[in-house]
Amino acid sequence: MSAKKNRTRSAVGKSSREKGARGELDLARKLNKWTLPDGTPVKAERNARNGKSTADLAHNIPGWHIECKRVQGMKLGSKMLEDALNQAWDALLDEHDYEGGDAVVMYRQNGERWQAAVEAVDLDCCGVAGSMDHCDPIAMTLDTFMRWIGCTKEGE
């Protein structure tokens, strides 16, 4: 491969990483406007990576692993969302030796609101509790998700 192609590929990767970092900061700001059910403010910040694999956001929302995605084409039913949910579950299992918890993908496309996607089994609404094979993911706005997990928003 020529040096020119390497530079182009590198520039595209850098641009993508920068967009992801901006998305994580934006999501952290949105989450910081919420309060947990016990009255504690949600604390969220972008993790420093330093070459290590870490969660996208450091946060104090108990029982949830957040996978943040700031990409076009992420929508319900897409392979991209399915892959992101799998990535979130893999990270959750790796991080905590799975002592419990759930995974959520929070994503936003250009000009759109933040969305949150979870496996329907997390809501126990697919009729096959414990079986991920028959439950499609569901998506909701970030505000709906935060209310669903019992948080309240500043000023409400």
Q: Give the domain CATH number at 49.
A: 3.40.1350
Q: Coil, strand or helix: which one is 89?
A: helix
> pTM above 0.75?
yes
Express each pLDDT in 86-122 by its tens digit.
Answer: 888 888 777 655 667 788 999 999 999 999 999 876 5
Contact status, residue 17 vs residue 9, Cβ threshold 8 Å:
no
In the chain, the number of structural domains is 1
Q: Give the phi and the psi of residue 50 in degrees, each rounded to 5.
A: 45, 40
89: containing domain: 3-153
Helix or strand run (H / E) with residue 46? strand 44-46
Match 């993908």 to its residue by tokens.
105
Q: Which residue has the tokens 């967009």?
A: 19
